[in-house]
Amino acid sequence: MGQPINKYLDIDLFKKDNPDKKSFITKVPRLSKEIEVRVYDLLEDEMHVAIVIDITQRVNDKKNLYNLKKETIDKTTDVIHKQMRVAQEIASLLGETTAETKATLLELMNVIKKEGD
């Protein structure tokens, strides 16, 4: 408090060369913070007020949520691939046993027909 803001921020909050930039987000590496700055002009551009908001936690929470979503999607994709692989293996085994059953039943039918003749 009572210290010049430039001691902490490497930016000029009240630049005249970019009057449209009244709200922006920037990183402050020296403090390991991410901040949102809102600049307001008072008294017909004779006085300025800057509100500096520490949004580091909000940004970190967004990153963590993004990572959690990505991890969940990756795990879901893995489960789907495993389920598909298992379904294909089951279908293959079922097809093999069905073919074996058909061959055995046809053989049995031929034996029964021959006995009847």
pLDDT digits (tens, 9 = 90+) for 47-75: 778 888 999 999 999 999 999 999 999 99
Provide the residue type at 5 as one letter. I
* pLDDT value of position 48: 75
Q: d(Cα 37, Cα 82) in Å, to the nearest integer?
A: 48
> How is 41-55 classified by DSSP, letter by letter?
EETTTTEEEEEEEE-
Burial string for 68-98 (b: 16+ CB within 10 Å, else e) reads eeeeeeeeeeeeeeeeeeeeeeeeeeeeeee
Kindly report, residue by residue over 8-31, the tens digit of the pLDDT: 777 666 665 555 667 888 888 888
The DSSP output letter for 16 is: S
Residue of higher predicted confidence among 74 and 44: 74
